Every structure is written in structure tokens, then in C-alpha cells.
Structure 1
Amino acid sequence: MLRGARPHEDEYDPPRGGGGAGGGPPGDSGDPAAAEQQEHRFEKALREKKGFIIKQMKEDGACLFRAVADQVYGDQDMHEVVRKHCMDYLMKNADYFSNYVTEDFTTYINRKRKSNCHGNHIEMQAMAEMYNRPVEVYQYGTEPINTFHGIQQNEDEPIRVSYHRNVHYNSVVNPNKATIGVGLGLPAYKPGYAEQSLMKNAIKTSEESWIEQQMLEDKKRATDWEATNEAIEEQVARESYLQWLRDQEKQARQPRKASATCSSATAAAAGGPEEWSGRSPRQRSAAPSPEHPGLHTELVPPSGKPPSPGTGPPKPPSPCAPAR
């Protein structure tokens, strides 16, 4: 049952009692340092005990609608859409909701349509019915201080909001369960299907990119291999050519050396026995005497006449003369 709303009640009115300093509501200690520590303890408790994460919403008067938009649409910037649908729903069900507003209901709706006007428990009840999802409110504890139910009961994940310093709402999400799109009445919609589809597309794109990268790397390696082979072939051809030049130079030197040897031998043969024997005619014709080893005798022909000039032992053949 909704509690009566005061004419200018622009935020949720939490249960009175302990929690804050002096018996005030939780988070109303008046000490900024203590309030900051309380915020950290609150976030840590929700994360460790429930696995929930508090997502900070912009503090501009639309924080409640931002928190709901974050969980329904996945984007807090769609808060104006959520606000419009909520106000339209309240007007269509004015006979029921007007009982909980003390001011003129039309005036109330017109005021709440402004983008910087805070939402309260009346709007939470309307949004719980609109999206057919429970709305849970957490305030510095791991259990909700209030829960607004829709008309029909179902197993859909609740819309969770956290209430801070009695003036601000944040979005409380369960990262292990998909909630975006739940309650929009989309036919055949499955929570998390969009995320799964995006993940599959991302994996497919990543695999295709990896394959293209591998093909590019293989092409680069093939190009490098071809360039290396060309360099090796060029080096082998260069070495072969240099070796051929060395062989040609070596062969060109060998005929000149043989020609010089032939020229020297021909000159020695043309000069007579004196040139190629290295001894005088007398030394060649003299021989030691058997009776007197220290004396030499003249070699005379059997006729007893000395040899005529120009005669003597035959000349040795020229080393360069062709064989017969």
C-alpha cells in the first residue's frame, strides 16, 4: 500500500528510526568524513555479500529515472523517456494514484514532468507496474528497506536502486544477470541475448582479424624468403663470375712463361757448345791421363789432325723444337 505523499514530496521518504546521528535517518550524520566512510562500507557490503555493484548516477534531479533507465535500457541518458512513460501511466491510472497525492493531481503530474524534478515512492510504484518488475530500495544495508511490486508476479530480475543522503538515487546492478530490456514487452525477447550476440560477433570479428593478420604475416615471410633466395642466387652468380675471371687470368699467364723458357733455350743453342755447356772447348776436349791424373791430354781424332773450326760435337736439339 502506498503511503500518502505530501504536496511537495520530491524524494523517497525512508522509514524513520535508527541509522543516522541523533536517531535521524541513515546517512544523515552531518559529518562529511563519517558520511564518506559510510558510503564505502555500504558499497563494500553490497559487493561482498550480494555481488551487487552501485553505479553512480548524475545528480541533477533525475537520478531516480536515470537509475531505472540504466537497468531497463542500459543507458541512464534515457531518463526522459522513462519519466514520460511514468507520467503518462500515472495519468491513465489517475483514479488510483490520485488517492495518494494531497495536491491537485494534474498539477502534480505537470510538475513531475520537468526533467529536474525528483521522483518518489509514487513513481516507483508506477514504474514497478509499468515494467512488471519489482523495485527494491537499498539504504546502507544489504537488505532492501522497501519493495514495490507490479500487478503480476513473475521471475524477472528486480529493478534495484540505492538511496544516499536522503536526496540521491544510484543504480544497483547484478553483473551476473542480464536485466536490460526486461519489462519492455518486446516479443520473443530474451535477457542477455543482445549481449551474447554482440559477444559472438566480437569473437567472430576477432577471429577473422586474426586470420587476416596471419595471412599477411605468411605473405610477408614468403616475400622475405623470395628476397633471400634472390640475394643468395645473386651472390653465387657473382662468386662464380669472379672465379671465372681468376681462372682466365691464370690461364693467360701460363703461355707467356712457356714462351720465355723457349726463347732462352733457343738463344743458348744458337750460341754453340760454349753457350750451353758452360766450359771452354779445351776443357771439354781435355781428359785426365791415366798415368798422370793431374795432367790432361788433347783429344785428337784418329787421323791425327786437329778438328777444323766449326766442327765438333753435334748441337743438342732445341727444347722448343718439335719432335720428329
Structure 2
Amino acid sequence: MSEKNDPCQSSSPSVSGSFQDTDDDISIPNISSGTSLSEDNKLGRRLSHLSSIPHTPRINGAIPDSDDATFNHDRLSERLKKYGLAELQIEGDGNCQFRAIADQLFRNPEYHKHVRKQVIKQLKNSRKLYEEYVPMSYSGYLKKMKKSGEWGDHLTLQAAADRFEIKICVVTSFKDTCFIEIVPREKHPSRELWLSFWSEVHYNSLYGVDDLPTRTLKKKHWLF
């Protein structure tokens, strides 16, 4: 598959705490195993020539029909192949965004409950930063997003960046948006996370093709 105007072909030039307060029945480690911005960043170098668009937090859009979803998936796969990136397949149980972030932060997708809890805490404690992007009752949005299995959106990505003080880099399947960088609003990021986003369908955790870890999934992940 090839597109004449694929934006991927255009060019241009410490986490603060361990967040131990959790309802999970697992012990949350200190966030220390991810990619530091001061380290040699292989993934960042591969896409350093690409322009990222300003991130606008938003809730999820409509799920694409089968034909559009197939085309989007093919577009994303081609982009990842082009830049030597590979997806760690994340379970498609509605928690994929939080699982992917947990994998990047802790190298364990099973910490997704903890990630969701921290995101909700951020959304609740800093309401003025986010409520303008929610076209519904904000309390209703929080109640819905608090539930396990509720899909994360671009607003929860921003809240995660703010809460964990991380830059989240997302390679997307959007036709006009190849690459999005989400940075914390008030603090300089000390970590960099990489996700793939199959438009309005699924998130996976990104690695270089030579660095993809081998992990066994307990449930089905999204395969097309």
C-alpha cells in the first residue's frame, strides 16, 4: 500500500514517584525501567525527522466500518515496517490503552488497573485542565472512564502524560496524522513512551524490531 501524501513521508527538523497507592492485588514497582530522555533513544532517532501535530485532547470518535478499519490497519502496519518498529500485541479487552502504557512504564501490561486509577485521579484533581474537552457531564465521564474495560481516549493520554510526567509518542493510522507527541502540561518529561494507535480501535506497545519482548497473553489481542 502506498499513499502520495502520507504525513510519515514529510520531514522537519524523572518520573516523580512510585505511585504506590493502588487497589490492585499486585505490587507496583518504582517506575525506573523505561527509556530516559537523556539515554540513547533508538525509537526517537528513527522518527526524529517527522513533524508531530499539536495534540488536542478529545474523547473517542466513531468506530470505523470494516473497510475503513482494514485500510487503517494496513496503513499503520506499513508505517511501522518503514521505520523498523514492532508492536507488542496488547489484549483487546477495552483496557488496551492503559495496558500499553503499563507495559511501557513497568514492562508489565497487568498493571493497567493502577495506570487507570492514576489517570482518573489526575482527571479528578485537575478538572479545570480537562473539562472543556468533554462534551458531556464531567462527573459522568469520570464515572464511565473509571470502569475497567472502558476505552481510553486522547484525553486520558494527556492525563497520563501529566500524571506520570512522561512524553507519550503515538504512531497512528490516521491518514493525515502519522505521529503525535503528548507532553505534560506543567512539567518537563523525564521519560518517553511509544504506542501505536489503530484509529478508534486499538492501542499496542511499540518497540524496535530487534528489541520486541516475548510475552504470553492471557486473552485474545486484536488481530486483523
TM-score with structure 1 length normalisation?
0.42
Post-superposition shift, 1:45?
A: 1.6
Quote the residue 1:158 is aligned against: 192
Post-superposition shift, 1:93?
A: 0.5
Contact 1:53 / 1:172 at 8 angstroms: preserved in 2?
yes
2:115 match: secondary structure: helix
> 1:111-122 alignment to 2 at 5 Å?
111-122=144-155
2:160 match: secondary structure: helix
Post-superposition shift, 1:43?
A: 3.3
Post-superposition shift, 1:70?
A: 0.3
More strand as a share of residues: 2
Contact 2:196 / 2:206 at 8 angstroms: preserved in 1?
yes
Contact 1:28 / 1:165 at 8 angstroms: preserved in 2?
no
Q: Say yes or no: does 1:170 pair with 2:204.
A: yes
Which amino acid in 2 is paired with 1:45?
K
Which stretches in structure 1 are left out of the alignment for 5+ residues? 14-24, 178-324
Quote the residue 2:139 is aligned against: 106
- Percent same amino acid at aligned positions? 22
Contact 1:160 / 1:173 at 8 angstroms: preserved in 2?
yes
More helix as a share of residues: 1
Contact 2:89 / 2:204 at 8 angstroms: preserved in 1?
yes
Contact 1:12 / 1:119 at 8 angstroms: preserved in 2?
no
2:136 match: secondary structure: coil
Contact 1:71 / 1:173 at 8 angstroms: preserved in 2?
no
Matches of 2:69 and 2:128 in 1, distance apart?
Answer: 44
Quote the residue 2:81 is aligned against: 44
Q: Say yes or no: does 1:86 pair with 2:123.
A: no
Quote the residue 1:135 is aligned against: 168
**Structure 1 residues 2, 157: CA separation in 2 closer, same or farther (over 3 Å shift)?**
closer
Matches of 2:69 and 2:95 in 1, distance apart?
Answer: 26
Q: Say yes or no: does 1:67 pair with 2:104.
A: no
Higher Cα Rg, which structure: 1
Matches of 2:167 and 2:138 in 1, distance apart?
Answer: 25
Post-superposition shift, 1:4?
A: 6.7
Which stretches in structure 2 are left out of the alignment for 5+ residues? 1-53, 212-224
Contact 1:128 / 1:134 at 8 angstroms: preserved in 2?
yes
Matches of 1:31 and 1:164 in 2, distance apart?
Answer: 8
Which amino acid in 1 is paired with 2:80?
E
> 1:283-302 alignment to 2 at 5 Å?
none
**Structure 1 residues 98, 36: CA separation in 2 closer, same or farther (over 3 Å shift)?**
closer
Which amino acid in 2 is paired with 1:89?
Q
Matches of 1:35 and 1:146 in 2, distance apart?
Answer: 16
CA deviations on 1:167-217 (whole Å, 9 max, x unpaired) are 11111135889xxxxxxxxxxxxxxxxxxxxxxxxxxxxxxxxxxxxxxxx
TM-score with structure 2 length normalisation?
0.59
